[in-house]
Amino acid sequence: MPYVVHRLLAAALVVLGTTTLIFAVLYWLPGDPATLIAGENATEESIARIRALLGTDRPFWEQYADYMAGLLRGDLGISFATQEPVTVRLWAQFPSTIALTLFASLVAVIAGVLLGVLAAVNRGNWIDQAVQTVMLFFTSMPSFWLGILLILLFSVNLQWLPAIGSGSLAQLILPVACLGLVASGRLMRMVRNSVLDVLDEHFVTTARSKGLRARRILFLHVLRNALIPVVTLLGILMGELLSGTVVVETLFARQGIGRLLVDAVGVKDIPVIQGAVLLASISFVLINLLVDLSYAVIDPRVRTAS
Amino acid sequence: MAERIALFDDLAVRAPAATGQARWRLAWRRPRLTLPRWIGLKWLAPIAVVAAMLICAIAPGLLAPFDPTDMGDAILSPPDAVHWFGTDHFGRDVLTLMIYGARSSLLMGACAVFVGGLIGALIGLVSGYAGRWIDSVLMRLLDIWMSVPDILLAIILAASLGASLTNTILAVGLVTVPRYARVMRAQVLTVRGRSYVEAARANGCAEIWIVVRHILPHTVSPMLVMATLGVGSSILIGASLSFIGLGVIDDRPDWGFLLSQGRSYLTAAWWFATLPGLAITALVISVNMLGDAIRDRFDPRLGAS
C-alpha cells in the first residue's frame, strides 16, 4: 500500500529532522557543563580534561555525527550527572509517564466525548451553556492550578488521596484527573461542533422523517460520522498531554520523563535533555502516524482522495 | 442572526448596491452615538478584565496597597481587612505581588504572539505565494518544528537562550510559529487563486505590489483571530515555564512563579498558591472569550475548532 509507505518515509524524515533540531538547539546551551561538574575550586587543567572526557570540546559536526551514529546503535550517550547510559535513565522513568499519559487520555476522551455530545444534543439551552462554560474553563486554566485545587480539596481538606509521589494507584488518580480534564476542553469543543455539523446533514433529516427514535438516530447515524474528524484531534491531544506531563510530574513530584527533563536542565545534563525530548517527540510523531493511518481505515474517503 | 439581517436591511435602504469600498465609506459615515447591537456581555466582561489587568501592568504602584518588597511581621497570615489576599512566606502582601505580576504575564501574551505571528506570517506568506519546492521545504521544516511538544520545545529553547523575560518571550513566540504559518499559508493559497490576482498579474503589476495590495489585506482578519486566540496559549506556556522554574527568575513578581512558591505552603496557606492561579485563569479566559467573539464577528468561516 503506497499510502502507508509514503507516510512511513515522511515520519522517518521528520524524526531525523527533529533529532537534528534538538541537537542544534542544545549545542548552543550557554554555560559549560564541565565547569559545573568540576566544582568551584577546579583548575583550568582539570576542567579541560573533563571537557575532553565529555567530548564537548570537539567541533559541532564531529559531535553531531557521533551522536547520530550512536543513535543508530540505540545509544543515546552517557549522562553527565550520573555517568549512567541515558537509555537506562530514560527506561527507568518511561513506564510512569506512559501510565500517566494513557490514563489521562482515557479521561480526556471520555469526558470530552460525553460532554461534547451532551452539549450538541441540547444546543442552545442551559445544559449547552453549562458545558460550554466548563469547556472554556478547562481550555483556559493552567494545568498546575487545577492540580493545586485538586490537592487542596482531596489531599489537604478531605484527606482522601495522596498529594505527591508515584508508584501506587492512589497516587495516580489526582495527576491523571488534572492532566486529563485540562486536555478534554479542546476535545469537547471539537465533538460538539462535529455533532452539530452532522445533525444538519440530509441523512439525519431523512432518518427523522422516517420516524426513527431520536436515540437511535444519535447512536447509529450521528455519532458514527461525527467521531471521524475527532480522531485527528487525538494526535494533537497527545502533544498536549506530553507537554502537560512535564508540569504535572513536577507539581505532584512524580517520577517520569518530564521531571527527569526539568532536573536535567537544572544541571545542564545535555545528553539526558536530548534523550528525554527526543523520546517524547518520537512518541508524538509515532502516535500521529498511527492516527493518520487509522484515519484512512475508518474513513474510506481519505484513501480515495490521496 | 436577527442582527445580521437588520444590518443588511439598513444597507439596503441607504444604498441598494453598496459593496466593497462603498460599503466601507458608508460604515464610516453612519453616526455612532450608541453602542452597536452586537456588543454584549461577551465583549464587555472580558474587555473589563483585560483592561483592569492592563492598568495593573502599566501602573502597579497606583493600585497596590503595599510595596512589593515590603516584608511585614505577619508571615503567611490569612486574608483579612489589611491584607485582602493574605501574605506570603516573607510577609509580603499577596495582592500587591499579584498586581505587580500582571506585567510579566501581559508582556508574555502580547509580545510572544507578536514574535510568533510575525515570523509565522512571513513563513506562511513565502510558502503559500512561492509554492513549488520552497513550499515543500518550508512545510517539512514546520512539521519538524511541530514534532516537539510545545512545552518541551519551549524548555530547551528557553534553556539555550538563557533565563530572562525577553528570552522566555522569544522562546514561547518561536514555539507558536507553525500555527500562524499554517493559517497564513492556507489563506494566501486561497486568495492567490482568485481572479482579481490573475487580473492584476495580467495588467503587469509587480509581484510585490500584488502581494501587498491584493493578498495581504485578505490575510489580516484570519491572522487577527489566530493572534487573539494565541494570546491565551502563549500566557499559559509562559506561566508553565515560570512554574517549573525555567522562566523569569529575577526579582520580578510573576504569577506562575508565585504559584510555584505557594505550592510549598499549601497546607498552611491556601491563598498563596490559589489566588495567583486564579489571576492567570481569569486573564486567559477573558482573552479566549475575546478571541471567540472576534472570530464569530469577523471570520465566521473559520468555524469553532
User: What confidence tens digit (pLDDT) does each residue in A6-38 have?
Assistant: 888 888 888 899 999 998 888 877 767 777 677
pLDDT class of A68 with cuts at 50, 70, 90: confident
pLDDT at B14 over 60: no
- Grid cell for residue B303: 468555524
Total H helices, total E strands in chain B? 14, 0
User: Cβ separation of B157 and A240 shorter than 8 Å?
Assistant: no
Cα separations in angstroms, A258 against A238, A250, B115, B166: 14, 8, 27, 24
Query: Which B-chain residues 211-250 have CB contacts (< 8 A) with chain A?
Result: 232, 236, 239-240, 243-246
- Establish if A12 touches chain B: CB-CB under 8 angstroms: no
pLDDT at B22: 54
With CA atoms as reference, report the closest residue to A54 among A73, A28, A30, A36: A36
As a whole number of angstroms, the distance between CA B285 and CA B14 comes to 39
User: Cβ separation of A151 and B256 shorter than 8 Å?
Assistant: no
Confirm if B87 and B97 have CB atoms less than 8 A apart. no
pLDDT at B114: 94
Query: Which A-chain residues 166-205 have CB contacts (< 8 A) with chain B?
Result: 189-190, 193
pLDDT at B2: 45
pLDDT one-digit tens code per residue, B86-113: 777 777 888 888 888 888 889 888 999 9
Q: Give per-residue burial for A120-145: e unless 16+ CB within 10 Å, then b.
A: bbeeeeeebeebbebbbbbbbbbbbb
Check residue B303 and give left, alpha or beta (phi > 0: left; psi -120 to 50: alpha). left
Q: Does the ipTM exceed 0.90?
A: no
Chain A residue at shortest CA distance from B258: A145
Handedness of CA A223, A228, A231, A236 (dihedral sign): negative
| B268: chain A residues, CB-CB within 8 Å | none
pLDDT at B7 over 70: no
pLDDT at B123: 93
| B266: chain A residues, CB-CB within 8 Å | 148, 151-152, 156, 163
Chain A residue at shortest CA distance from B154: A243
pTM of the model: 0.83
The residues facing B87 across adjacent strands are B93
pLDDT at A254 over 60: yes
- Between CA B198 and CA B201, with CA B200 as vertex, the angle to 5 degrees is 65
pLDDT one-digit tens code per residue, B131-140: 788 888 898 8
**Closest chain A C-alpha to B150 CA, distance in angstroms:** 6
Complete DSSP assignment for B167-227 = HHHHHHHHHTHHHHHHHHHHHHHHHHTSHHHHHHHHTT--HHHIIIIIIHHHHHHHHHHHH
As a whole number of angstroms, the distance between CA B55 and CA A74 comes to 54
pLDDT one-digit tens code per residue, A161-184: 777 777 777 788 889 999 999 989
Chain A residue at shortest CA distance from B275: A145
The pLDDT of A140-153, averaged and rounded, is 90
Cα separations in angstroms, B205 against A106, B196, B201: 55, 11, 5
With CA atoms as reference, report the closest residue to B283 among B48, B87, B61, B44: B48
| B260: chain A residues, CB-CB within 8 Å | 144
Query: Which region among A89-93, A241-245, B56-60, B78-82 has the lowest average model confidence (pLDDT)?
Result: B78-82
Query: Who has greater pLDDT, A201 or A143?
Result: A143
Enclosing H/E stretch for A17: helix A2-27
With CA atoms as reference, report the closest residue to B239 among B212, B296, B278: B278
Helices B270-298 and A126-140 meet at what angle, rounded to 10? 120
pLDDT at B36: 57
pLDDT at B305: 38
- The residues, ordered by sequence, that sit 6+ positions from A62 with a Cβ below 8 Å of its Cβ are none
Query: Which B-chain residues 138-197 have CB contacts (< 8 A) with chain A?
Result: 140-141, 143-145, 147-153, 155-157, 159-160, 162
Amino acid at B133: W
- Grid cell for residue B26: 458608508
What is the SS3 assignment for B87?
A: strand
| A26: chain B residues, CB-CB within 8 Å | 156, 159-160
As a whole number of angstroms, the distance between CA B84 and CA B65 comes to 10
Average pLDDT over chain A, rounded to whole? 83
What is the SS3 assignment for A1?
A: coil
User: Cβ separation of B243 and A189 shorter than 8 Å?
Assistant: no
pLDDT at A53 over 90: no
Half-sphere exposure of B264 (CA within 13 A, CB side): 8
Query: Who has greater pLDDT, A152 or B296?
Result: A152
| A132: chain B residues, CB-CB within 8 Å | none
pLDDT class of B3 with cuts at 50, 70, 90: very low
Query: Which A-chain residues 70-129 have CB contacts (< 8 A) with chain B?
Result: none
pLDDT at B34: 56
User: Cβ separation of B160 and A28 shorter than 8 Å?
Assistant: yes
pLDDT at A82: 82
Query: Which B-chain residues 251-280 have CB contacts (< 8 A) with chain A?
Result: 256, 259-260, 262-263, 266-267, 270, 273-274, 277-278, 280
pLDDT at A149 over 80: yes
Query: Which region among B53-57, B108-112, B194-198 has the lowest average model confidence (pLDDT)?
Result: B194-198
